[in-house]
Structure 1
């Protein structure tokens, strides 16, 4: 049964953030708010947690394209091939924000990402995931929560989300209603920004 933690962005309680981080370190799956939609997340270095995340999404882990959530660009070189100055400047002007940037992956990716040629990097403009990543000491893997409804693409009510995922996750962070527009996906692998999916982020 998932534990619901009410954490609000105007004054996030450090002890509750610490509880979330402890769960991630113990292989837990969390549901957290972002500057776009609510998302599922886990420790990128915990292969069992990554497999569980894939099971929740009803896909095989080797077919999954989970984003890597960072709190700044400092972890970029851990996961991506060297990027040129113009792309780095471009990233700096759009981070943090509602974007997922596709970059060429390097060979130092965590085990669950092995064999991936590209990786999606995201730095949400939201204090709660930023604090979680900072306290954890490294990024988390993430995937958006989709809704089964054919009209509503993303779930926005954390109470309904908690009901649906109650037996599947360890912690649900209730931060009030979320957005229903996902991030804009931008491919930077060619050296020029190419929008693959227009979402909340405007360029």
Structure 2
């Protein structure tokens, strides 16, 4: 039976965040709020937890998982970023953007894209998640909480707990999320490529929206 932590969105209870971090350090998979939608998260270096996360979503190793980082100093550890890319990242973080970047050797090979050696990285702008990442002390491996065979992310913590109570160790409830996906930008090539237009405004980065 998964636990449900009701966390205040503006003043998260430190005790609950500490317990949540302990559950994740112990190999648990949790549903947490983000600045786009609820996501499944687990320990980056726990192979069993990562496999469990993929099983819940029913995705294979070609599905890009994302590293949720507290700030750009963490991001640089896991991705190769040149000065031009860093300036763009600085404009977009924290915020509802996911960037596909060339992975460094710090990222376990099983977690990067099998043919491209890339990884999705993002710095979310969500107080509860930011404080959980700070308590956890390192990035979390994540994927949007979209049930198998469906196209929309789940947004009601009680429903998430009821549906995945035998697969998740924890659901962190801090209320509804915006329910808009992140904007995905591929920075692994010579020029930025907008893969998905989402909540993040690409004009802030000097890019042209896909529908223009």
Could you tell me the TM-score, scaled by structure 1's length?
Answer: 0.92
Partners in 2 of 1:34 and 1:117 — Cα distance?
A: 26
- 1:180-199 equivalence runs, <5 A: 180-199=179-198
1:193 Cα deviation from its structure 2 partner: 2.1
- 1:50-129 equivalence runs, <5 A: 50-60=50-60, 62-81=61-80, 83-110=81-108, 112-113=110-111, 115=114, 117-129=117-129
1:5 Cα deviation from its structure 2 partner: 0.3
Structure 1, unpaired ranges of 5+ = none
Q: Deviations over 1:105-135 (max 9, x none)?
A: 1222135326561110011100111111111
1:2 aligns with 2:2: yes
1:21 aligns with 2:17: no
1:9 Cα deviation from its structure 2 partner: 2.0
Partners in 1 of 2:9 and 2:109 — Cα distance?
A: 32
Contact 2:36/2:181 (8 A) holds in 1: yes
Residue of structure 2 in register with 1:32 after alignment: 32
Partners in 2 of 1:136 and 1:112 — Cα distance?
A: 22
Aligned residues: 200
Partners in 2 of 1:149 and 1:178 — Cα distance?
A: 21
Residue of structure 1 in register with 2:206 after alignment: none
CA RMSD of aligned residues (A): 1.7
Residue of structure 1 in register with 2:207 after alignment: none
Partner SS state of residue 186, structure 1: strand
1:171 Cα deviation from its structure 2 partner: 0.6
Could you tell me the TM-score, scaled by structure 2's length?
Answer: 0.88
Residue of structure 1 in register with 2:210 after alignment: none
Q: Deviations over 1:17-73 (max 9, x none)?
A: 00000001100001000001000000001111111111111134x334210000101
Partners in 1 of 2:173 and 2:149 — Cα distance?
A: 21
Partners in 1 of 2:177 and 2:83 — Cα distance?
A: 34
Residue of structure 1 in register with 2:155 after alignment: 156
Q: Deviations over 1:151-192 (max 9, x none)?
A: x72222111111111111001011112222111101111243
Partner SS state of residue 42, structure 1: strand
